[in-house]
């Protein structure tokens, strides 16, 4: 089967990983579709009220010749400016079936400028 690769080229930009953000009554929930990444491949941090999510892993040795590749194989980067009423000192993150779920409770603004979040 032959397929025209189109104007998008061979790879999507590394920041194009799908993200859903939900505003619940008492928290913000960020859901990152991080298929093929393990928790050890991802870093979640908050610096100066900006949420940073980065993932990087080594590609498989026997990489196929894709006709179309729409999910990241090597790395991604996303960042989001957070509202000042979020409690960034109590950010939690967990991986579940290829989805990284980051929970940020509403509350007072944190005092610390740089926080690294452990992924469970």
pLDDT digits (tens, 9 = 90+) for 66-84: 787 766 568 888 999 988 8
The answer to whether the pTM exceeds 0.85 is no
Using the structure block, give the residue that is written with the tokens 């109590």.
90
Using the structure block, give the residue that is written with the tokens 């960042």.
79
Range of the domain at 90: 19-59+69-117
CA distance 27 to 88: 11
| pLDDT attached to residue 26 | 92
- Whether 1 maps to a domain, the answer reads no
Domains held by the chain: number: 1
| pLDDT attached to residue 109 | 59
- Whether 7 maps to a domain, the answer reads no
Over the stretch 21-69, which tens digit does the pLDDT of each residue have?
999 989 999 999 998 899 999 999 999 888 999 999 876 666 677 787 7
| pLDDT attached to residue 7 | 44
Are 85 and 109 in contact, with CB atoms under 8 Å apart?
Answer: yes
CA distance 50 to 36: 25
């Amino acid at each position: 089967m032959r397929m025209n690769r189109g104007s998008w080229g061979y790879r999507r930009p590394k920041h194009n990983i799908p993200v859903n953000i939900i505003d619940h009554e008492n928290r913000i929930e960020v859901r990152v579709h991080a298929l093929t990444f393990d928790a050890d491949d991802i870093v979640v941090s908050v610096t100066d009220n900006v949420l940073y999510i980065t993932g990087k892993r080594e590609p498989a040795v026997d990489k196929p010749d894709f006709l179309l590749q729409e999910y990241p194989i090597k790395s991604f980067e996303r960042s989001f400016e957070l509202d000042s009423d979020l409690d960034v000192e109590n950010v939690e993150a967990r991986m579940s079936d290829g989805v990284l779920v980051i929970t940020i409770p509403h509350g007072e603004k944190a005092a610390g400028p740089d926080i690294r979040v452990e992924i469970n």
